Copies of this chain bind each other. A is one copy, B any other.
Amino acid sequence: MKKVKVAILGATGAVGREMMKILEERNFPVEELHLLASPRSVGQKVAFRGQELTVELACEEAFEGMDIVLGAAENDIAERFAPAIVKSGAVFVDNSSAFRLDPNVPLVVPEINPEDVKNHKGIISNPNCTTIISLVAVNALNTDSPIEAMVASSYQATSGAGAAGPVELMEQVDALREGRKPEVKVFQHQIAFNVIPQIGGEAYEGYTSEEMKLQNEGRKIMHLPELKVSCTCVRVPVVRSHSVSIVVRTKEKISVQRARELIANAPGCRLVDDLANKCYPMPLDTSDQDIVFVGRIREDLTSDNGLNIWCCGDQVRKGAATNAVQIAELLVK
């Protein structure tokens, strides 16, 4: 495997730091790694494979000579630097939502649509975290009979809001336990001992931007242009790993037994489904892992061809950083 020059754009955020860790863990063939960030992080020292790297300024010139740029920054930064990255000849594997629905940009979950990578024109988008976790869980069903619709309710961890999310949760918990008033900065409301049914702003007919992603990105990733999804995204006081309760309706009926077999054999999935022994996916068990856990598989009692499932996955890893590195692996193959 050839060695490649890699830059991480937004290297000091939660996803950027996880990308470094995963490049190291998966022994990605890095020839050179450049950590790019905004002026306030420039000069920070970060260890990578026993070497000390210095955070450099994210600027247009920084991408020259790179083969792959892993994007771990917000939409505005991704949009600002995308032209320079493409011009430099590097492939931009971007975790922001800026280009996900652009018809010229493949949107890839390597377990689902790896072949789409080859259609890139310089940019490949990494899907939304809840979308990746949900689709890895349900795609095995889709290979058996096309998915027509999903009703999903999410239980999203504070780490989905970046490194400051879990910090705010813990600060609020400590404040409340010590009788102080909790400060609200990152989330819309107090998240400690609460749940907040809003992630993102209003996007479509009362649905938030986060809620529309499972439908719109799901259509593109699974090549199901008619897919219908009703989603409710909820923040919960969990540190890490998102959970999703999904009713999946398929064209033809899939039995619970068959669904269990399909999911047990699906890439990136682990079947954890033994209610009698209290075994099912939980955020605590899936954190710091790349596998999506799937369980509580039952027939949907409201439709003829539906299944009820519960899945959990680490959204900083498989929901973001790992998925991006897997895309990079497809590029160097």
Q: How far is the CA of A232 from the CA of B311 in the complex (A)?
A: 12
Inter-chain contacts of A276 with B (CB < 8 A): 202
Q: Report which of B150, B201, B296, B301 forms a contact with A229, defined as CB distance below 8 A.
A: B301
Once the chains bind, are A153 and B153 in contact (CB under 8 Å)?
yes
Q: A282-B189, A282-B195 are in contact. Are A275 and B310 (CB under 8 A)?
A: no
- Determine chain A's interface SS by DSSP, over half rule: mixed
Inter-chain contacts of A205 with B (CB < 8 A): 256, 298-299
Interface size range of chain A in the complex: 35 or more
A167 at interface, CB cutoff 8 A: no
Q: Which residue of B lies closest to A295 (CB)?
A: B197
A54 at interface, CB cutoff 8 A: no
Inter-chain contacts of A284 with B (CB < 8 A): 189-190, 193-194
Inter-chain contacts of A295 with B (CB < 8 A): 197
Supply 16 further A-B pairs (C-beta < 8 A) apart from A174-B177, A197-B295. Answer: A149-B303, A150-B302, A151-B151, A151-B247, A151-B302, A155-B155, A173-B173, A190-B284, A197-B280, A198-B275, A205-B298, A207-B298, A230-B306, A232-B310, A236-B236, A236-B237
